[in-house]
Amino acid sequence: MSEIGTSIPNVTVRGPEVPRNIQALDPVFNVSGLSVFYGDYAAVRGVDMVIGNREITAMIGPSGCGKSTVLRCFNRMNDLIPGARAAGKITYHGEDLYGDHVDPIEVRRRIGMVFQKPNPFPKSIYDNIAYGPRVNGRKKGMDGIVEEALTKAALWDEVKDKLKQNALSLSGGQQQRLCIARAIAVRPEVILMDEPCSALDPIATTKIEDLMQELSRDYTIVIVTHNMQQAARVSDRTAFFTAEVDDSGVRHGRLVEYDETSRIFTNPSDKRTEDYITGRFG
């Protein structure tokens, strides 16, 4: 891990072939004062961040600091956990995500999610992709949707001859790309990814990273990762979380620093961020 710190200048931060004007931040999510509770336990406290349109935002930090918890607030997946509750405010294109009028089903349709472990349905490849559009009421033009989603997820060439085959017969990396294709098929605006590469080998990881770069032209992507090179390679902005112990000895997740990825990895303003990315973190 320690070579990350010393080799920071060599880390390619978003190659120059994809020029972007990061400054002009077009907010998709606006998070202010977000705290998330599991029962009485505040897992994360006081998070403020703005997620930019068609950017890749990475969330890094030690295990248990609440990255997944925050990520799951963006598509209201935390609603499914009994006792989980979010306080504070998250707006999505200016609209309160936790407002009374908001239907979580509709939120999840617009904001897709890819999980840490590939979780294809025990159905055919075709049916996996078609599932999302079908539950959202689409009946016609399914072949086109399936092909488009698989093509975007860079999986079409590998599976086009076996669409009727069970998705569980694919390799882990293929399954994860299938899950990305499945998320794309409902035409979301945002894709949330919780450690999407942690179960994959380096080659499959590279493929998914390339895919994320590709997808960021059309989609806003938020990714949780433990792999700091990955955050440095793919993301535009990076949020560093850590767990703090408060006066009564309880651990809470905190957002320490949130900035452009290049700044976080070359010139972090917080000592804790620096310690973490240089591997000095305890």
Partner 1 sequence: MTVLTSIGKAASPGPRQLAGRRRPVRETVFLIALQFSLVIAIAFLAVLLAYVISKGWARLDPRLWENMPSIRRPENAGAQSAIVGTIYLMGLTALFVIPTGVLAAIYLEEYADRDKWYNRLLELNIQNLAGIPSIVYGILGLGIIARVIGLGFGLITGALTLALLVLPVVIISAREAIRAVPPSIREGSLALGATQWQTIYRQVLPSSIPGIATGSILALSRAIGEAAPLVMLGAATFVAFNPESLTDGFTALPLQIYNWIGQSRPEFGVLASSAIVVLLALLLVMNSVAILLRNRYQKRW
Ligand X SMILES: Nc1ncnc2c1ncn2[C@@H]1O[C@H](COP(=O)(O)OP(=O)(O)OP(=O)(O)O)[C@@H](O)[C@H]1O
- Name the site residues for ligand X (rule: CB under 6 A): 38, 43, 63-69, 81, 253
| Beta carbon nearer to partner 1, 221 or 232 | 221
Token pair listed for 265: 């990895």
CB contact at 8 A, 185 and 130: yes
Q: Closest approach of Cβ 110 to partner 1, in Å? A: 8
Which of Mg ion, ligand X, partner 1, none does residue 9 bind (CB under 5 to 8 Å by kind)? none
By CB under 8 A, tell whether 168 contacts partner 1: yes
Judged by beta carbon distances under 5 to 8 A according to partner kind, the member of ligand X, Mg ion, partner 1, none in contact with residue 122 is partner 1
Q: Which candidate, 41, 44, 81, places its Cα nearest to that of 61? A: 44
Query: Which position among 54, 85, 109, 138 is part of the footprint of partner 1 (CB under 8 A)?
Result: 109
- Judged by beta carbon distances under 5 to 8 A according to partner kind, the member of ligand X, Mg ion, partner 1, none in contact with residue 65 is ligand X
User: Would you say 57 and 231 are in contact if contact means Cβ atoms under 8 Å apart?
Assistant: no
Member of 8, 14, 49, 68 binding Mg ion (CB under 5 A): 68
131 belongs to the binding site for partner 1 (CB under 8 A):
yes
Number of residues lying near Mg ion (CB under 5 A): 1
- Based on CB atoms, which residue is closest to partner 1, 80 or 245? 80
Report what 31 binds from partner 1, Mg ion, ligand X, none; CB cut-off 5-8 Å by kind.
Answer: none
Q: CA-CA distance, 194 to 58, in Å (whole number)?
A: 10
Which class for 5: exposed (0-12), middle (13-18), buried (19 or more C-beta within 10 A)?
middle
- Give just the sign of the alpha carbon dihedral 222, 27, 153, 19: negative
What backbone torsions phi and psi does residue 250 show, to the nearest 5 degrees?
-100, 140
What Å distances lie between residue 189 and 99, 170, 232, 257, CA to CA?
A: 19, 27, 23, 26
Region for 41 from its dihedrals, namely left if φ exceeds 0, alpha if ψ lies in -120 to 50, beta otherwise: beta
Q: Name which of 35 and 266 has its Cβ closer to ligand X.
A: 35
CB closer to partner 1 out of 182 and 237 = 182
* H or E stretch covering 126: helix 125-135
Cβ of residue 41: shortest distance to ligand X, in angstroms?
Answer: 6
**Distance (Å) of CA 121 to CA 32, 106, 128, 137:** 36, 21, 6, 19
* CB-nearer residue toward ligand X: 128 or 273: 273
Minimum CB distance to partner 1 smaller for 72 or for 207? 72
Paired strand residues for 49: 31
Binding residues for partner 1 (CB under 8 A) = 75, 77, 80, 82, 105-106, 108-110, 112-113, 115, 117, 119-122, 131-132, 135-136, 166, 168, 179, 182-183, 186
